[in-house]
Structure 1
């Protein structure tokens, strides 16, 4: 498949190299992403690049034991495989991820034709409280760090600046959350978290995400 790459022009080569790095860095490439300037979802050129060269990319990743997958309904390309290095994330990030999946499913059940869902930090914390996952709120620094990590992996897009983070801070939940967790997984994990009293400590320590969650590369 290397001859295929050699036959591309310089612009195409740069685009292919860029999407390979993007996938290895953040796992997912969305078809549409939120553009703060226009205030709406716009087409992602990297998605088009993967779509155009996906046969080459599949073979390229296959060498490393990585599979390139696509979900046309959700509008996302993503990679998975045993050789993808799993990243440890904080317990707060894990809880946020679980709640975001629940909120996504609830909003989509309202017969919405849009694969993107809007929420707020206040709604997330309200849902966390409903499941008794935390006794007290973590620090603003921990919240910002967790939100930044979930943004990196295309799970959410903060619509307001994180420096002014508060309960009214708006976020878009991207459909990637549907690839990371299934509905049955999420409810079982939340029940497990509630029983373990994971809310007792929210320090800087990190813990591995449960095995049912797709591994995320560093």
Structure 2
């Protein structure tokens, strides 16, 4: 394994090192991301590197008891293991994350031919309202801050300018939404996420892949 790494040139080593760090940080690599310059989905360089060195990475993570897998249908390379810890998220980010997963699953169930889906801010807040988990509409500042956080972890990608955020602002939900939630019933979980019980607190979302179709 070490010999394989040492045979790479410096540039490729840097790419591989970056991929390892990304996998440890967010547990997944996306095959395609939205490119605002072209308005299209583009293949990720990180994913190409991960795919190119997949067998090496698989052995590397196995040393730490972590399993590396690839889901070609979803366009994800991801890690699983009991040693991985979840990230603590603010309450609004947790609510949005659960709602986004629900919207993603609903659209994919409608025989979607793509691994990503597009929703609007109005759809997200509307779905949250259906479960009565928000006592009032968050302020534009709160929504922008939350969207920026979820974008940071490559869960979503805004298609429109966040400074002009309104109910028509569009977002791409990446298949990585699977990588940050357990396989619980999202509707049931949202149903227990009442304003009275969780007001002002933070929640932990487990960074572990649920079972997905190959």
TM-score between both structures, scaled by the size of structure 1: 0.86
Q: Specify every segment of 5 or more residues in structure 2 that has no aligned partner in the other structure, as ranges.
A: 210-214
Give 1:191 deviation, angstroms: 1.7
Q: Specify every segment of 5 or more residues in structure 1 that has no aligned partner in the other structure, as ranges.
A: none
Question: Within 5 Å, which residues of 2 pair with 1:1-218?
Answer: 1-181=1-181, 184-193=184-193, 196-198=194-196, 201=199, 203=200, 205-209=201-205, 213-215=206-208
Greater CA drift, 107-116 or 117-126: 107-116
**CA 1:183 to 1:84, structure 2 compared with 1: closer, same or farther past 3 Å?**
closer
Residues 55-74 of structure 1 show CA distances to partners (whole Å, capped at 9, x for unaligned) of: 11122222233322221110
Residues 173-218 of structure 1 show CA distances to partners (whole Å, capped at 9, x for unaligned) of: 111113434675212201211xx335873x4x52323xxx4359xx
**CA 1:79 to 1:145, structure 2 compared with 1: closer, same or farther past 3 Å?**
farther
**CA 1:19 to 1:97, structure 2 compared with 1: closer, same or farther past 3 Å?**
same
Give 1:120 deviation, angstroms: 0.8
Residues 157 and 171 in structure 2, CA contact (< 8 A), matched pair in contact too: yes
**CA 1:163 to 1:64, structure 2 compared with 1: closer, same or farther past 3 Å?**
farther
TM-score between both structures, scaled by the size of structure 2: 0.88
**CA 1:207 to 1:181, structure 2 compared with 1: closer, same or farther past 3 Å?**
closer
